Amino acid sequence: MDTLAVIGSALALSLAAGLSLYGAAFLLGLAVRLEWLRLAPGWEPVAVLADPVVLTVAGVLAAIEFLADKIPWLDSAWDAVHTVIRPIGGALLASRVLGGLSPEAEVIAFLLLGGATFATHAAKASVRLVVNASPEPFSNVLVSLFENSLVVGAVWLAVSHPFLALGAGLLALALAVAATAWLFGRTVRALCGLWGRVAWRAPTTR
């Protein structure tokens, strides 16, 4: 497979894992299991995801994540727990499509793909903190469903249109970094304002 196509597939999978590691692994394994995806040369390591045991575990975890992701504040707690898990898992998942690499290239690819996964994870977690500040619970469900659709789309691009996945992935990566930076600043200002109001209202003791 063309080098750019391989990079596009790996990038799309790493970005999808930042939103839902288990969902991306389950969808990719399911595509192989149902023979929707015929493994190209270099993709042989992906076949392990179609193993019945691996597919079942990934499916159960994806279902738990699907539900937890739609409950206010539980979604943020879930994101916090997966701050380390998603980048490592995303790098492992995406690197399976890279084929045989030298040890040096494998380490570099692992770091870059893990960084891409962390970028979408950070953007997702930042968005959820802002959404959770809303008094109504429906925004969480809508945002979560939108993220679910992005995961499905990213996995589909990775296996069907790798060149398009490369362009879309680079754009999504840039947007994720920009959104995280903007939302982080907004969240810090909101927390500082909240702390200031609490401190101002707190009774003083003499």
Of 26, 16, 23, 22, nearest in space to 119 by CA:
16
Range of the domain at 119: 3-201
3-state SS track over 72-136: CCHHHHHHHHHHHHHHHHHHHHHHCCCCCCCHHHHHHHHHHHHHHHHHHHHHHHHHHHHHHCCCC
Tell whether 80 is covered by a domain.
yes
Q: What is the pLDDT of residue 146?
A: 94
Burial bucket for residue 112 (CB in 10 Å: 0-12, 13-18, 19+): middle
Q: What is the pLDDT of residue 195?
A: 62
Q: How many domains does the chain have?
A: 1
Q: Which residues contact 10 (CB under 8 A, 6 or more apart)?
A: 94, 95, 97, 98, 109, 113, 158
Tell whether 143 is covered by a domain.
yes
Q: What is the pLDDT of residue 5?
A: 86
Q: Which residues contact 121 (CB under 8 A, 6 or more apart)?
A: 18, 19, 79, 82, 83, 86, 87, 90
Q: What is the pLDDT of residue 199?
A: 55
Q: Round the average pLDDT of the chain to a whole number and report it.
A: 86
Q: What is the pLDDT of residue 105?
A: 84
Tell whether 155 is covered by a domain.
yes
Tell whether 39 is covered by a domain.
yes
Of 36, 22, 100, 110, nearest in space to 66 by CA:
22
Tell whether 206 is covered by a domain.
no
Q: What is the pLDDT of residue 206?
A: 47
Q: Are 124 and 75 a contacting pair, CB within 8 Å? A: no
pTM: 0.85
**Positions of the chain with pLDDT lower than 70, given as ranges:** 1, 186-206
**pLDDT one-digit tens code per residue, 127-144:** 888 888 777 778 889 999
